[in-house]
Structure formats: C-alpha cells, structure tokens
Structure 1
Amino acid sequence: MSESINDTGSCQVLTFKMGEEVFGVNIMSVREVLDYTNVTKVPQTPDFMRGVINLRGNVVPVIDLKLKFGMSATERTVNTCIIIVEVSLDGESAILGALADSVQEVVDFEKEFIEPAPRIGTQLNTEFIQGMAKKGEGFVIILNINKVFSADELNMYSGLQENAS
C-alpha cells in the first residue's frame, strides 16, 4: 500500500463505477478521462480488449475491466467513459484506456480508512487490489493498476501500438 500513500498519509483516488461496485485508481496513474468514443476492434485479441482508439495520433488499447474481472460487458450509456491510465511493468510504461460505467469523483483517503485486500483462499488472486477504502456504508475497491495486467498482456498491447505506427 505504501507506494500510493503520500507523505501526509493519504491517497488520492479517482473513483468510478463498474456495475454496482465503486472502484478507484491512484490519481497519479490517471492521464485523463474521455467521453466514450468509437473503438476499433482488433482481430484475435482477448474479449476484454475492446479495441483501440486514436488519442492525438497515438494508438491506445481500450480494455473492458468488467470483462477482465469476470463481470458482464460494459454497456454504452451517456455516462460511459474511458479512463486513460499509465501502467508500469518491469520498468516499461504503457498507456491504456479502461472503460468505466461512470466516473464519480477524486477522493482523498486517509491511510487509517484503507484496509488491505481481503484474503479469499489461495485460488483467488487479489494482488491487483491495492486496498479497500471505507466510504460511507460501503467500500471503494482501490486497484493497483500495475497488477491488473500480466507482462504478456502488456507486451501484446505495446505490440499493437508499434504495429499501428
């Protein structure tokens, strides 16, 4: 958890909804939030990879996090948006778009309100959950965006970006 908590003991998180759940990602990983735009499907990619968009001349892969997490596909509504994030794995940096049903707000969570990810047996990988932040009656699931994707997946995305150049 320490990598995202600043010197004041707090963590700024962009919160967004996927289905009924509220998720968050460290604001330092977020580049921008876009309205949903046309996504060009790329053949022979995993289902959760919805395609690519042109972001100021750059090819950016768009991921449906709901599909990645085993939920139903994100349906396009007036609130659907693409959160542009920078992920880092093994010293490599990549820009990805993550679909969200809607973006909520930026919240400053004090570290005492953030619990570690729950341990749910040995079969379920919760490494991508950085913490569970208490908010009102519920929780915000804070994602470690660098752990959501495997090295192989990130290599595939960077290959798409290079092939399009």
Structure 2
Amino acid sequence: MIMATTSLEAQFVTFSLGEEIFAVPVEVVREILDYAEAFKIPNGPDYLLGLRDVRGQGVPTIDLRLKLGMTKTVPTPHTRVLVLDVPMESRLLTLGLVADRVFEVTPFRREQIEAAPDIGVRWRSDYIAGVVRRENGFVVIIDLARLLSREDASVLQSAA
C-alpha cells in the first residue's frame, strides 16, 4: 500500500541572489514576472525599488539583495520578480521580490530541513526558516514575515 507523503514534504520555489540559493514556500508565490523597472517612490528605504503594476494592483517591489546586506541587483536577462502574498500578523502583504534567477519548484522533505545555524555573532539570521543541504551547497529557506519587520511592512503597505 502506498502512503500519501504530502504532510512529510513541502513545495518551495528556489531562486538565486548571486551564488547563494534561497527558497520560499510555493503557496506564497502568486506569479513570477520578467524584470522591469519599478515606479520610484521618494523617501523610501534603499531596498524598496518602487511600485510595479501587477494586473492593475500597485505592488511594492524590493531588492532582496539590499535587504540582506548584499550588493544592489544588476538586472540581467535572467532577473525575475516573484510576486508574493506574505501572511503578516493581521493582513496579507503583497510584494515583488527581485531575484537574480528563478530555478524551479522543488519538494523538500521535512527531515531534510535543518534549523537555522547559530553562528554566535550578532548577525540577523532570524529570517532563516531552515536550511537544506544539497550536493552543491545549501538552500536557505526564508521566513518572509520575519525578514520584514513591522516597520518594513507598514512602509511597504503605505507604498502600495
């Protein structure tokens, strides 16, 4: 008899920022778009690229590289925008996340997902929901609600 394994694994969308591979749960991804310049918003934080029209909705778009302390994204033909619906405390926050490249939807078994590593220094790793080992390195699963502070969420919400 074959047992259903749906509760033992979860689907993730994998993408890269530079050489690093990240993942977000597939259920928060609404769609994946080709990169286009966003409409600039004055006085926003540096990681907020601006607004992008997504099917008639103004969606705040962020450069995740800047949010994570990396260098600014330099768009290439592979650059994509993941449109995400992120569950926050009391609402759903829709935002665009710029990725250097989007790879695939892939399942990870629950036992493959390790806790975020404690590296013993004052480095924000609380946004890491887990880490999955692969032959060629690691995939970091991002907890978007933790990555975006309350302050970030209100800035992004008011931008929209």
Same-fold status (TM-score > 0.5): yes
Matched AA of 1:27: V
What residue number does 1:3 align with? none
Q: How much does 1:102 deviate?
A: 0.5
Provide the C-alpha distance between the structure 1 equivalents of 2:36 and 2:81, rounded to a whole number of angstroms.
Answer: 8
- The answer to whether structure 1 residue 73 and structure 2 residue 80 are counterparts is no
SS at match of 2:152: helix
Task: Report the RMSD for the aligned CA atoms in angstroms.
Answer: 1.3
**Identical-pair percentage:** 36
Provide the C-alpha distance between the structure 2 equivalents of 1:77 and 1:137, rounded to a whole number of angstroms.
Answer: 23
Provide the C-alpha distance between the structure 2 equivalents of 1:138 and 1:123, rounded to a whole number of angstroms.
Answer: 23
What residue number does 1:101 align with? 100
Q: How much does 1:143 deviate?
A: 0.5
**TM-score between both structures, scaled by the size of structure 1:** 0.90
What residue number does 2:38 align with? 39
Provide the C-alpha distance between the structure 1 equivalents of 2:25 and 2:147, rounded to a whole number of angstroms.
Answer: 13
Give the ranges of 4+ consecutive aligned residues of structure 1 lying more than 6 Å apart after TM superposition.
Answer: none
Provide the C-alpha distance between the structure 1 equivalents of 2:36 and 2:99, rounded to a whole number of angstroms.
Answer: 13
1:88-147 per-residue CA deviation (whole Å, 9 max, x = no partner) reads 221211100000000001110111211100012252221110100112231100101111
Matched AA of 1:76: P
SS at match of 2:73: coil
What residue number does 2:138 align with? 139
Task: Specify whether residues 91 and 122 from structure 1 end up closer, same or farther in structure 2 by C-alpha distance, changes over 3 A only.
Answer: farther
What residue number does 1:112 align with? 111
**TM-score between both structures, scaled by the size of structure 2:** 0.93
- The answer to whether structure 1 residue 84 and structure 2 residue 109 are counterparts is no
Provide the C-alpha distance between the structure 2 equivalents of 1:122 and 1:152, rounded to a whole number of angstroms.
Answer: 24
Matched AA of 2:87: S
What residue number does 2:51 align with? 52
- 1:144-155 residue pairs with structure 2 within 5 A? 144-155=143-154
- 1:3-42 residue pairs with structure 2 within 5 A? 7-42=6-41
Provide the C-alpha distance between the structure 2 equivalents of 1:58 and 1:8, rounded to a whole number of angstroms.
Answer: 34
1:18-52 per-residue CA deviation (whole Å, 9 max, x = no partner) reads 00000000101111100012311111011111111
Provide the C-alpha distance between the structure 1 equivalents of 2:134 and 2:11, rounded to a whole number of angstroms.
Answer: 13
SS at match of 2:7: coil
Q: Which sections of structure 2, spanning at least 5 residues, go unmatched?
A: none
Provide the C-alpha distance between the structure 1 equivalents of 2:138 and 2:32, rounded to a whole number of angstroms.
Answer: 22
Provide the C-alpha distance between the structure 2 equivalents of 1:91 and 1:122, rounded to a whole number of angstroms.
Answer: 32
